[in-house]
A and B are shown apart, each in its own frame.
Chain A
Amino acid sequence: MNFELTEERQMLQDTLRRFLADKYDVPTRNAILESESGMSAEIWSQLAELGIQGALFDEAQGGFGGAGFDIAVVFEELGRAGIVEPILETCIFGGGLIAALGNEAQKGLLESIIDGNTKIALAHSEPRSRYDLSRVETQYEDGKIKGHKSMAMGAPNADFVIISVRESGGNDDQNGISLFLVPAPDLDMRTTAVMGGGMAADIYLDGLSVSDDKRLGPKGSAFLYLETVFAKAITAICAQTLGGMETATKLTIDYLQTRKQFGKPIGTFQALQHRLSDMLIELEQARSAVIGAAGYLDADTHLRDRYVSAAKNLVGRAARLIAEEAIQMHGGIAMTQEYELAHIAKRVVMADHMFGDTDHHLERFIALSAV
């Protein structure tokens, strides 16, 4: 075993951390959060210039990374800075599915994703699917898509949206799910800002004509690929949440050392000291959970999924604890929108509502452990 990052990943981490510390300060982020598009095109292309998008793809795909630990390193830093740009949606979901399933023409998009010129989103969940990956009721029949996709993260800023549809089987069968890669302007969307940053859309598919050549991958067998890409997305969001928790903890440490009440720093109160210790303990647990998920991302699916669900469950619990304790130990100031912790706390807590929450992954872990 070896717990050191490779030299390349160490460099990636340093570069990204320095860039974001420099360019993504709190006023910048608050301005982005209040902007119409909810993201910064400038940051997006600067990230591409640094090779961040490229680090999420392997060499065959035109990148220089793409392994679990590349994902973990990049998203931990993105999370530390609380960045809200749709990297996960574009590179993990969009790029991941296109790389795995695309025909030559579709794969042409990978280069422009890596260059920062194209953004992709995945529209998979539906109002009745909650967190079930196989529940797809949107239909594709006679060249038309009919259905309703909910909370498609990143869709409002995407150039293309990947839409999952059912072509055979029952509502929650794993077989019979296909994907289509559709230009975003063709879609009827209602957009919303997301608590904790980013944009999402509900997409109304009222018999949208989509030709067969827009299909991404073979007919009816997308589920396995969705599982794989969700395993990556969960690892990414856990790493991102880990980074956010590090920031929340750091802000709390600074505050305990500087805020004075009763004539002394509040960090001198043992009631708070012990709780800070618990935050630090949970943070290390979360770090190991993320390392576990990243390290087994390419293992056989059973082993992978146990680690992935374990991470999502543990990180979900840790994030709630750390966000709530950080707010509590700051007192009123943490409740103000413009203070950095408010954004970070919202981001790490709301991550539990993406790709399956703490309870969903506990149940999945139980099911996987029974075999």
Chain B
Amino acid sequence: MDLSYTDEESAFQSEVRNFLAEKLSKQMSEKVRLGGDLTKADMDEWHSILNDKGWLAQNWPKAFGGAEWDAVQRHIYEEEAALANAPRIVPFGLSMLAPVLHKFGSKEQCDRWLPRILSGEDWWCQGYSEPGAGSDLASLKTRAVREGDHYIVNGQKTWTTLGQHANMIFCLVRTDVDVKQQEGISFLLIDMDTPGIEVRPIVLLDGGAEVNEVWFTDVKVPVANLVGEENKGWTYAKYLLTHERTNIAGVGFSNAGLQAVKRIAKSELSAGIPLIENPHFAARIAQVEIDLMAMSLSNLRIVSQAAKGGAPGLEASMLKVKGSIIRQEINDLARRAVGPYALPFASEAIEGANEAPFGPEYAAPVAAEYFNNRKLSIFGGSNEVQRQIIAKTTLGAMR
């Protein structure tokens, strides 16, 4: 074992740093730092900057035009990008759909859809959850009935993140109602401009509108948009979920978040001294930092292992649970650190810094982020579901 970076890894780290210093505009990083909501144009712009450098499709195989980074490279990028306040990479096309297409899609599908993900021509969203099918995803009801060269889709998806920007949605739909739930599900690619699709925004508790309901009424989808085989969608969906989970440790975000907490605690005064010198608060910061240091190594360890072929199963669930708890704890610290100025509920805290912030500028987003990031332990397989996986994997099937 050796915990230091190799020469190549150090060189890569410098390259990432230089790239971010050169290509990430001050305007964009300020928006991210102040918790502003990025527009579609902002996200497209950042994607295209990364794509020009060949760094957009970080974990795609080289054969599909990806960078095929290893775990350490991904870790380095994630850490540097978060510290530089770079926008996050929107995962739906790049790290959710693409791996499914690589593994299960036809050649035509790969040729057609993958380049459009890279170019930004298509913006994908994830149509898994339904009002009645959350943790119990396999109970989904959105129905697709085959008629000639088309499927006719009826039903409703919900919690569709950034669906308002999307022109494409990958969906799990029910194609057979007469078999065991898991065996009647198919994986369909649907053009959001097809007649019969309606997108309705859901306002979340922090005032932001990042999720949507998507309604389907007699929507015609070409059979060519079926991925893999009919009724095998559950297998593909589970494959995708493992990918969703490895990214969800969010070590980079936690590092950046912890730095931000320390900056706030240096500016805030408690009983006349900087909050960071208050032993009680310093202990709170230290406690999270200790957890995060270990988490960061766990993440590297597990992702490296996965790259060597060990499928991340129970370990991916562990990363998801611990990673989300640490991020939420950091959000809680930021809220505490700010004190009374965490109270203002201003739309500008969400829409970006148009008006002068109320109180110190770092105060504006912290309470909203604290509440918004409660989602981290709910989506992508809730933490209860993950714990269930960990225990079942360990204990085996018992009666």
Interface residues of A in 266-300 (CB under 8 A from B): 269, 271-272
Query: Are B343's CB and A194's CB within 8 A?
Result: yes
Query: Are A335's CB and B388's CB within 8 A?
Result: no
CA–CA, A202 and B363, complex, Å: 14
* Inter-chain contacts of B345 with A (CB < 8 A): 192-196
- Count contacts on B: residues with CB < 8 A to the other chain: 52
Minimum Cβ distance to chain A for residue B129 (Å): 7
* Inter-chain contacts of B335 with A (CB < 8 A): 353
Among B159, B360, B367, B384, point to the contact of A271 (Cβ < 8 A): B384
Instruction: Report if B398 contacts A (CB, 8 A).
Output: no
Instruction: Tell me whether A195 and B367 are in contact in the complex, defined as CB-CB below 8 angstroms, given that A328-B374, A335-B204, A357-B336 are known contacts.
Output: yes
Instruction: Report if A111 contacts B (CB, 8 A).
Output: no
Interface residues of A in 115-173 (CB under 8 A from B): 125, 127-128, 130-132, 135, 150-151, 171-172
Instruction: Report if A43 contacts B (CB, 8 A).
Output: no
Query: Are B384's CB and A261's CB within 8 A?
Result: no
Among A125, A193, A320, A335, point to the contact of B340 (Cβ < 8 A): A125
Instruction: Report if B203 contacts A (CB, 8 A).
Output: yes
Instruction: Tell me whether A336 and B378 are in contact in the complex, defined as CB-CB below 8 angstroms, given that A125-B340, A150-B359, A195-B343 are known contacts.
Output: no
Instruction: Tell me whether A338 and B343 are in contact in the complex, defined as CB-CB below 8 angstroms, given that A172-B272, A327-B374, A357-B336 are known contacts.
Output: no
Q: Which residue of B lies closest to A329 (CB)?
A: B384
Contact residues on A (Cβ < 8 Å of other chain), bracket: 35 or more
Query: Are B378's CB and A320's CB within 8 A?
Result: no
B372-385 interface mask toward A, CB cutoff 8 Å, 1 = contact, 0 = none?
A: 10110111001110
Among A272, A336, A337, A352, point to the contact of B384 (Cβ < 8 A): A272
Among B202, B339, B370, point to the contact of A131 (Cβ < 8 A): B339
Kindly name the residue among A263, A345, A349 whose own CB sees the greatest number of chain B CB atoms within 10 A. Answer: A349
Query: Are B270's CB and A130's CB within 8 A?
Result: yes
Interface residues of B in 335-349 (CB under 8 A from A): 335-336, 339-346
Query: Are B344's CB and A336's CB within 8 A?
Result: no
CA–CA, A307 and B137, complex, Å: 48
Among B340, B367, B378, point to the contact of A331 (Cβ < 8 A): B378
Minimum Cβ distance to chain A for residue B16 (Å): 33
Q: Which residue of A lies closest to B129 (CB)?
A: A332
Query: Are B339's CB and A332's CB within 8 A?
Result: no
Instruction: Report if A101 contacts B (CB, 8 A).
Output: no
Query: Are A151's CB and B272's CB within 8 A?
Result: no
* Inter-chain contacts of A328 with B (CB < 8 A): 374, 377-378, 382-384
Q: Which residue of B lies closest to A135 (CB)?
A: B272
Instruction: Report if B113 contacts A (CB, 8 A).
Output: no
Query: Are A127's CB and B205's CB within 8 A?
Result: no
Query: Are B203's CB and A337's CB within 8 A?
Result: yes
Instruction: Report if A190 contacts B (CB, 8 A).
Output: yes
Query: Are B341's CB and A151's CB within 8 A?
Result: yes
Query: Are A336's CB and B343's CB within 8 A?
Result: no
Query: Are A150's CB and B281's CB within 8 A?
Result: no
Query: Are A332's CB and B344's CB within 8 A?
Result: no
Instruction: Report if A342 contacts B (CB, 8 A).
Output: yes
CA–CA, A132 and B359, complex, Å: 17
Query: Are A354's CB and B340's CB within 8 A?
Result: yes
B17-29 interface mask toward A, CB cutoff 8 Å, 1 = contact, 0 = none?
A: 0000000000000
Q: Which residue of B lies closest to A153 (CB)?
A: B343
Interface residues of A in 81-132 (CB under 8 A from B): 125, 127-128, 130-132
Interface residues of B in 259-301 (CB under 8 A from A): 268-272, 278, 280-281, 284
Instruction: Tell me whether A150 and B374 are in contact in the complex, defined as CB-CB below 8 angstroms, given that A192-B358, A336-B205 are known contacts.
Output: no
Q: Which residue of A lies closest to B284 (CB)?
A: A359
Q: Which residue of B lies closest to A130 (CB)?
A: B339
Instruction: Tell me whether A320 and B332 are in contact in the complex, defined as CB-CB below 8 angstroms, given that A335-B204, A346-B205 are known contacts.
Output: yes
Minimum Cβ distance to chain B for residue A138 (Å): 16
Instruction: Report if B135 contacts A (CB, 8 A).
Output: yes
Among B207, B284, B341, point to the contact of A337 (Cβ < 8 A): B207
Instruction: Report if B66 contacts A (CB, 8 A).
Output: no
Instruction: Report if A350 contacts B (CB, 8 A).
Output: yes
Instruction: Tell me whether A130 and B268 are in contact in the complex, defined as CB-CB below 8 angstroms, given that A150-B340, A151-B341, A195-B344 are known contacts.
Output: yes
Instruction: Tell me whether A353 and B378 are in contact in the complex, defined as CB-CB below 8 angstroms, given that A320-B332, A346-B371 are known contacts.
Output: no
* Inter-chain contacts of A271 with B (CB < 8 A): 384, 387-388
* Inter-chain contacts of B384 with A (CB < 8 A): 269, 271-272, 328
Instruction: Tell me whether A195 and B342 are in contact in the complex, defined as CB-CB below 8 angstroms, given that A132-B271, A336-B204 are known contacts.
Output: yes
* Inter-chain contacts of A363 with B (CB < 8 A): 280
* Inter-chain contacts of A190 with B (CB < 8 A): 358
Query: Are A357's CB and B339's CB within 8 A?
Result: yes
Instruction: Report if B251 contacts A (CB, 8 A).
Output: no
Query: Are A353's CB and B340's CB within 8 A?
Result: yes
Minimum Cβ distance to chain B for residue A266 (Å): 8
Instruction: Tell me whether A336 and B340 are in contact in the complex, defined as CB-CB below 8 angstroms, given that A192-B346, A261-B134, A362-B280 are known contacts.
Output: no
Instruction: Report if B368 contacts A (CB, 8 A).
Output: yes
Sorted from nearest, which 3 A-B pairs have the closest CB atoms? A342-B205, A195-B345, A261-B136
Q: Which residues of A contact B (CB under 8 A)?
A: 125, 127-128, 130-132, 135, 150-151, 171-172, 190, 192-196, 200, 202, 260-263, 269, 271-272, 320, 324, 327-328, 331-332, 334-338, 342, 345-346, 349-350, 352-354, 357-360, 362-363
Other A-B pairs, 13, CB within 8 Å; known A192-B343, A261-B139, A328-B378 = A125-B340, A130-B268, A131-B339, A171-B272, A195-B368, A196-B345, A200-B343, A271-B388, A336-B202, A338-B203, A353-B340, A359-B336, A363-B280
